[in-house]
Structure 1
């Protein structure tokens, strides 16, 4: 559940496909000391190895996939995300991203897969986003809970401190019957502060994250990712 659906677009130098159309294919690989999705660990507070592939077109269309190991305390061992959408500029400082993200758990015993529609608006350093589940497996939330009643609204401020160092502040709010089924609470907030820096061998990040869930504690997460063009 961890591929940030609002950061999947990695625009880079175009690969010439036709005379007038450019597209790019890129990849990324890395790891994290704790895989968090909306503030909640997906790896039982253990290390996660992650990676993905992205395709972007000059029209704004993008598609990709991303994978990570997970630990839910059962036989489910990995997650594969598939996503697609359109992103572009409304004006010089205002941009948008509209898409669909499917979370798959191929080796899960039950039917845990689900998909979300999302939309985001970004203005300079500020991004506002909203996502809502539109399809879900029968075991995402057991009856009598509605397994598609899950929404997420978030605000993120990303400030470049230097050419290579970035500061990010994030607040998110999850609500719906799925939240109640998972955590016995009707809604919760997650928030984090992160610092990231680009180096010659990849991007290194430090995050301090927490939620207001009753049984949750603040977490420090170290991450590394390396991006490349194909």
Structure 2
């Protein structure tokens, strides 16, 4: 993890040094649960998270994000590093990047990374995330693909309604869930003034209940 994170940091710094027009921001949030692709990462407990982001006028961005987690192996927190390029051409938005998920206090090597790409148009966006590597202590975890479709609409007074559907597939999914090598997850949320109320659901037999969460987050410039 240290070698990959250091390389990512050096790459970001080298690009940042050639761009003087940029914005640095931070974010903090509290949530009643931390869901990732429909599955709780905190054993259905509350989560506190925060991050720092760098955005350049040329479309380059980089950042890091940290949250508590609660896994069966006693892993207690997650630290993400990401970088990419985003922009818009002829009304079509795009985003290409890489994200590295690190779990520094995990008893084994649980880190993994993904390449991702997305396209957006008006209220609709589609994204693909592909596993580049998974933890080294399990030869079964070497394949994972996530496809998602998202939509967001303005409703009522300055509120946003968001809809989500995603599909996880690959050998890694079977290793993680112990049930199947693919599953669907669904989500609906309403947000206003930093507050979000949402529900999530998967089609996994062992985790198919509809679950609700509430969160509050703030962003500010540095």
TM-score by length of 1: 0.86
Alignment match, 1:6? none
Question: 2 CA distance for matches of 1:75 and 1:221?
Answer: 23
Of 139, 164, 175, the residue aligned with 2:169 is: 175
Alignment match, 2:122? 124
Alignment match, 1:12? none
Q: Give secondary structure in 2 for the equivalent of 1:59.
A: coil
Residues 133-165 of structure 1 deviation map (CA, whole Å, 9 limit, x = unaligned): 1022213xx33x2x2200000000001114520
Q: Give secondary structure in 2 for the equivalent of 1:179.
A: helix
Alignment match, 1:39? 38
Query: Aligned pair count?
Result: 204
How far has the Cα of 1:21 moved from its partner? 4.3
Q: Give secondary structure in 2 for the equivalent of 1:46.
A: coil
Of 209, 217, 222, the residue aligned with 2:214 is: 222
Question: 2 CA distance for matches of 1:104 and 1:77?
Answer: 11
- Equivalent runs, 1:1-230 vs 2, <5 Å: 21-91=20-90, 93-139=91-137, 142-143=138-139, 145=140, 147-162=141-156, 164-183=158-177, 184-198=179-193, 203-216=194-207, 217-230=209-222
Higher helix share: 2
Alignment match, 2:9? none
Q: Give secondary structure in 1 for the equivalent of 2:33.
A: coil
Q: Give the 3 Å change call, closer, same or farther, for CA 207–99 of structure 1 in structure 2.
A: same
Question: 1 CA distance for matches of 2:118 and 2:171?
Answer: 23
Question: 2 CA distance for matches of 1:136 and 1:186?
Answer: 15
How far has the Cα of 1:208 moved from its partner? 0.9
5+ unaligned residues in a row in structure 2: which ranges?
1-15
Alignment match, 2:8? none
How far has the Cα of 1:63 moved from its partner? 0.1
Question: 1 CA distance for matches of 2:49 and 2:38?
Answer: 17
Runs of 4+ aligned residues of structure 1 deviating over 2 Å after TM superposition are: none
TM-score by length of 2: 0.89
Residues 61-106 of structure 1 deviation map (CA, whole Å, 9 limit, x = unaligned): 0000000000012221000000000000021x21000000000000
